[in-house]
Amino acid sequence: MSKRENSRRTFLKQTMLASAAVSISPLLFAQSNTPLEKERVKLALIGIGNRGGQIAKDLFATGLCEIVALCDVDMGAKHTQEIMAMFPKAKQFKDFREMFNKSGNDIEAVSVGTPDHSHFPICMMALSLGKHIYVEKPMACTFYEIELMMKAARKHPNLVTQVGNQGHSEANYFQFKAWKEAGIIKNIREVVAHMNSPRRWHGWDPNIYKLPEGQPIPQGMDWNTWLMAKPYHDYSDKYHQGNWRCWYDFGMGALGDWGAHILDTAHEFLDLGLPYEVNPIKLEGHNDYFFPMSSTIQFKFPKRGAMPPMNITWYDGVNNMPPLPSGYGTSELNANIPTVAGAKLQEAKLNPGKIIYSDDLIFKGGSHGSTLSIIPSEKAKAVELKLPKVPVSTSNHFANFLLSCLGKEKTRSPFEIFGPLSQVFSLGVIAQRLNTPIKFDRDSKTITNNQFANALLTDVPPRKGWEEFYKI
């Protein structure tokens, strides 16, 4: 590996060429063996605090895994101690690279419950070493990183991947699929998605002109590894323990966080792929550093086979609610939304969900595993006898992953399914960040109307020492 860093121009040229035809070096990836029939998967947990800790509990609760290693850059901090106490015999690490180097032979699969910006290098190394992956959404931060992750997964079809949008294993998934196949959901022209609950950055000053002042790094924390491939930032508690989600440098805002739970089934079963245009209709409190106080973003998708062109319009922000159709009724909060650090999502004026408009019917839905209903009620009664029987899920999202590692099921949200939706979010974030419309060529996978926006498909080159994860 060359120690000389490529210039930004060279890096962007290479990455744009790579998006058209990616060929990953065979030296980076080692073939893994076909899973054998057995009872439990040897699992390493990477990221064990807050949401990562809840994922650990949910995976372990299936009875289908043995926890063999724990990895967290803040190992021993208050928010990681509970998981450490649950698995005292598991080997402990702060750096995932050291974990794989020292205990790789003991690990068959990993869960990745770390900040968005760190998903990519962890998953690329895990795939290279033949490990199955469960990773929290939204897969990665940049369009190009997601492209590489999908290419790497295709190179190893015997490895299992699963992205953590749990509704893809609940009633939401099976109902949408059954209604689409039965012709109940057809000729969709528009989907409105809304997430109007408070976000972490809503109390911040959008007139920001620089990044937060540096603070002392907490004792025992490996801040350098936390940053991974991103340019160096001084430590601040405004980045740590979930606050990373607020910043363009580290997270994907409300869209990347909640879009996965609201738009997943529509995106898959309506075969949407990638948009050809993204328009930021409203950005309140826009700045260059963290996400707007509210956003309205329109995504335009072309005709797909017999399905007509359609738009998705995304609304976030406490007071930035979409117009509601007649007969909408009340807005319920899905009781199955998981906790983060023990805190349930608060009720909002309009709870997270979606409205789907077809030529004949309007469908009202929530987030995660929430099922659709037809509105108004007269319309629902008219089609009641035509509704197909909806299958019951054979496994929740965590069991589905582990059973797939054991060769008994197939994951419902692998990289090949979720990756394009995650890329939709990355395009939306570029439009938010620059506050400008973007035109996207779905064939060449380039932004055609804005050179700087096109460069953000890859973002800045990786920090020195992290180039190997991006090598083609």
Residues 6+ apart with CB under 8 A from 303: 309
DSSP state, residue 260: H
Contacts of 60 (CB under 8 A, 6+ apart): 67, 86
Q: What is the CA angle 27-32-38, rounded to 5?
A: 165
Residue 300 is inside which H or E element, if any? Answer: strand 294-301
* CA–CA distance, 467 with 151 (Å, rounded to integer): 17
DSSP for 274-326 reads: S-SEEEEEEEET--SSB--SEEEEEEEE--BTTBPPEEEEEEESTT-PPP--T
What secondary structure does DSSP assign to 189-221, as a single string?
Answer: EEEEEEE-S--GGGGS-TT--SPPPP-PPPTT-
Q: What are phi and psi of 305, to 5 degrees?
A: 60, -125
Asked if 450 and 457 count as a contact pair (C-beta separation under 8 A), the reply is: no
The one-letter amino acid code at 154 reads R
For 19-106, strand residue ranges (E) read 41-46, 65-71, 91-93
Element (H, E) at 311: strand 310-316
The distance in angstroms from the start CA to the end CA of the chain is: 12
The CB-side HSE value for 469 (13 A sphere, CA atoms) comes to 25
Q: What pLDDT does residue 52 have?
A: 95
The per-residue pLDDT for 373 is 97
Write down the mean pLDDT value for the chain. 91
Which class for 447: exposed (0-12), middle (13-18), buried (19 or more C-beta within 10 A)? buried
Residues 126-175 pLDDT 10s: 999 999 999 999 999 999 999 999 999 999 999 999 999 999 999 999 99
pLDDT score recorded for residue 341: 58
Question: How far is CA 145 from each of CA 169, 234, 460, 469, rounded to the nearest angstrom?
Answer: 25, 24, 12, 10
| Bridge partner residues of 247 (DSSP) | 290
Contacts of 377 (CB under 8 A, 6+ apart): 327
Q: Which contiguous run of DSSP H or E holds residue 374? A: strand 373-375
CA-CA-CA-CA torsion for 96, 100, 103, 106, nearest 10 degrees? 110
For 53, residues 6+ apart whose C-beta sits below 8 A from its C-beta are: 79, 80, 82, 83, 113
Query: Facing residues of 135 across strands?
Result: 112, 163
pLDDT per position as a tens digit, 195-220: 999 999 999 999 999 999 999 999 99
Identify the pLDDT of residue 342.
58
In the chain, DSSP finds a helix count (H) and a strand count (E) of 14, 15
pLDDT at residue 335 in the model = 75
- Measuring CA to CA, which residue among 119, 35, 74 is closest to residue 401? 35
Integer CA distances (angstroms), 103 to 42, 87, 121, in order: 11, 16, 18
pLDDT of residue 102: 97
Question: In the chain, which stretches have pLDDT less than 70?
Answer: 1-37, 340-343, 472
Give the tens place of pLDDT for each residue, 339-355: 765 567 777 789 999 99
Q: Which pTM was predicted?
A: 0.90
* Structure-block tokens of residue 195: 């997430």
Res 18: pLDDT: 40
Q: Which amino acid is at 397?
A: H
CA 163 from centroid of its chain's CA atoms:
7
Q: What domains, with CATH codes, occur in the chain?
A: 8-168+399-425 (3.40.50.720), 173-386 (3.30.360)
CA angle 273, 279, 283 (to 5 degrees): 125
Closest CA to 331 of 299, 355, 297: 355
List, in sequence order, every beta strand (DSSP E) within 113-211.
132-135, 161-163, 188-195
CB 298 within 8 A of CB 312: yes
Q: CB-based contacts of 354: which residues, under 8 Å, 6+ apart? A: 191, 192, 193, 194, 262, 263, 266, 364, 365, 366, 367
Structure tokens at 248: 């363009």
The pLDDT score that the predictor gives to residue 4 is 39
Rg from Cα positions in the chain: 22
